[in-house]
Structure 1
């Protein structure tokens, strides 16, 4: 096939996919498919108030769904793959207090078996978290299993396991929870329970959204199109270019943000740390592609705040795979190494928390509220010039507010050089 014919073929496929998407969007609008209570209330990514709460309610045999252990049984069999789990006298807890060992997001327990589930959406790992859960399991004297539930089935960090060999299993919202909710919708009595059925259907849509998946019907139509006339091979070639398109959008955003706000940030007393970023567009885009393929891939640029105890304090502005939000990170470092807060004095740790930074993975993070995530399809809205400019201004203004709190803090200014 000539180059021109290939280009025409690609254009034809894209037009057909566009028609399928437009048709699906029209149907969603006409049938109210865009109405989602979780999105309306801005509760899409809340681990405790949304996901932990709803999973607990569905798994709890005494839950308001009044279906007893129906949904729990599907979960144990199809998600956890635990055989011969006795569903009699089961206790399900959320935020279970395990005293000095912390709190467990979800605990499912009968007389012989303890199931511990840790849920992660945006929050980073806590120090020795899975190690502490493992200790709790050992102390229970029962058979126990630990499950680490994330959007895509990521493994826990060494920070959580305490660099020890913890036996835990990874499960995901992307496949495991999505399939479980589908099975719950299809359970014997669910179809005749309108409130339960519609809540499950909306939660299913939410999971598809936060894990960047297509609606089932839309996915099927596009799949059938790609399986015709050698379209799949062409689609695979297109897919290889998509990471570079996403990376270019992200690069343009960071560049515009930096150019527009760098002078204002430096006027607040910070010094831009001029490393490799913003020097060569091609290499920067390649680096973004490389980083975004990693689980914890991070893109950031740095500002020097001052000297402290023979180290330097930096504010990093970026977005990584752990938090999936644009952040300002408060870090302490030498020329070649960052230091977690635990290695520094209590005065600095307390001060960082006073400044509004969350201690995650041993570093301080403060997040912007504007809905832009380079790991999801929210990045695509940057293709619109007005939205792009609004995102730069909104995020830039938020960053300035965070930085002002740091640079204007008297306690911090008293201990840095």
Structure 2
């Protein structure tokens, strides 16, 4: 599978030296990464940022961090102590939730965070309309789109909203500088400053901003022609190797689902498993929503289907399809499903067109089982081991079977 790859002793030495230098001051000891919550938008990033921004937060600094954020990140004038309300997960009329909302007598600002989750249809448009409704024509409305690198939102999410109505912010620049300002304002509280510094280091790790092992490896390679050529050969082989690992995963997962349900799952996002696996790593691929699916229950003229989807990470769960086979949202059924089955642990669980969505079985797994085929994390690398792969797939299929049974029981009432 990885026969095309090679790593010379000289190249291995470069990587080893870079790993040691990148951890010279203990940078790899990051509490968020150790606890494997470093990419969790809702429970890590949204909560931590909200806690710093909240004037009543446990940091005990009142509006200090909030004022700094408003001025240096959003470019807004502050209006004094005790006049701001900061909320998380603000519900909209469309049953969506704005990650963070900051409101004062004259301004309302909404912040949408994106680490791994994809844009949703009309998401920012709906958020802007909700903020406008709450402003009532009497407050300035600000909507910010916060991503790792400050990229622009998709036209699908804007849904007619102009790009000028959305402020694009990045964790790597604006948020990182703001965090540094928070640290500088906290010398009298070392524990607080260290906690913020840990989060800032997490941001640096996620965005590759300065001092990372990748930076150090690049610095070594750009001055050595032979090592650079060796690295290029490895780089050329990696997409094929990654695609081969992914293809085996999909093939064995489909076979396991067929054995469990007696139905062969169909492939979407491409003509075959081989095609979706290899196209996933092609440079010209824009839509990486791929996977396998199958119907498990008929409900009137619609089907409840089991989906295993890949965008950045593999996630699975239940979705509704109409008579044309198109995914359709059902807010009422989603509400009942999440009440009876429970909320999923995948980012997509927040999206309207998933009834429930998981990365792994919360009763028998943890974040180590999240398979990220984009960055090829440890779980993805683990798939090279036949027994590890079969165990992971068996656990996944067992949980999917459990979800299917719950869905049938839910719909037969």
Fold match (TM-score > 0.5): yes
Contact 2:149 2:207 in 1 (8 A): no
Matched, 1:221 2:216: yes
Secondary structure of the equivalent of 2:404? helix
Q: Which runs of 5+ in 1 are unaligned?
A: 1-6
Shift of 1:338: 1.0
Matched, 1:144 2:133: no
1:249 paired residue among 245, 250, 257:
245
Shift of 1:23: 2.0
Return the alpha-carbon distance in structure 1 between the equivalents of residues 333 and 318 of structure 2: 18
Indicate the residue corresponding to 2:391 in structure 1.
393
Indicate the residue corresponding to 1:86 in structure 2.
78
Contact 2:289 2:311 in 1 (8 A): yes
Return the alpha-carbon distance in structure 2 between the equivalents of residues 151 and 392 of structure 1: 34
Shift of 1:118: 2.1
Secondary structure of the equivalent of 1:289? coil
1:177 paired residue among 154, 175, 178:
175
Contact 2:244 2:278 in 1 (8 A): no
Return the alpha-carbon distance in structure 1 between the equivalents of residues 150 and 62 of structure 2: 28
Matched, 1:36 2:30: yes
CA 1:225–1:330: 2 relative to 1, 3 Å: same
Return the alpha-carbon distance in structure 1 between the equivalents of residues 328 and 317 of structure 2: 15
Return the alpha-carbon distance in structure 2 between the equivalents of residues 183 and 231 of structure 1: 43
Contact 2:99 2:113 in 1 (8 A): yes
Shift of 1:194: 1.9
Return the alpha-carbon distance in structure 1 between the equivalents of residues 151 and 239 of structure 2: 20
CA 1:49–1:412: 2 relative to 1, 3 Å: closer
Return the alpha-carbon distance in structure 1 between the equivalents of residues 232 and 70 of structure 2: 37
Secondary structure of the equivalent of 1:328? strand
Contact 2:53 2:86 in 1 (8 A): no
Return the alpha-carbon distance in structure 2 between the equivalents of residues 361 and 406 of structure 1: 19
Contact 2:56 2:62 in 1 (8 A): yes
CA 1:159–1:45: 2 relative to 1, 3 Å: same
Return the alpha-carbon distance in structure 2 between the equivalents of residues 292 and 66 of structure 1: 49
Map residues 82-161 of structure 1 onto 2, 5 A cutoff.
Answer: 82=75, 85-86=77-78, 88-89=80-81, 90-95=83-88, 100=93, 104-121=98-115, 129-139=123-133, 140=135, 141-153=138-150, 155-156=152-153, 161=158
Matched, 1:338 2:326: yes
Contact 1:116 1:145 in 2 (8 A): yes
Matched, 1:372 2:371: yes
Shift of 1:359: 6.1
CA 1:75–1:292: 2 relative to 1, 3 Å: farther
Matched, 1:54 2:48: yes
Which digits, 9 at most, give the CA deviation of each residue in 1:251-285, with x for residues without a partner?
A: 232233334x1343234xx443367979574x444
Indicate the residue corresponding to 1:14 in structure 2.
11
TM-score for both structures, normalised by structure 2: 0.74
Structure with the higher fraction of residues in helix conformation: 1
CA 1:150–1:354: 2 relative to 1, 3 Å: farther
Return the alpha-carbon distance in structure 1 between the equivalents of residues 291 and 87 of structure 2: 35
CA 1:371–1:307: 2 relative to 1, 3 Å: closer
Secondary structure of the equivalent of 1:170? strand
Contact 1:301 1:316 in 2 (8 A): yes
Which digits, 9 at most, give the CA deviation of each residue in 1:282-320, with x for residues without a partner?
A: x444322149954x5122012233555455543221222
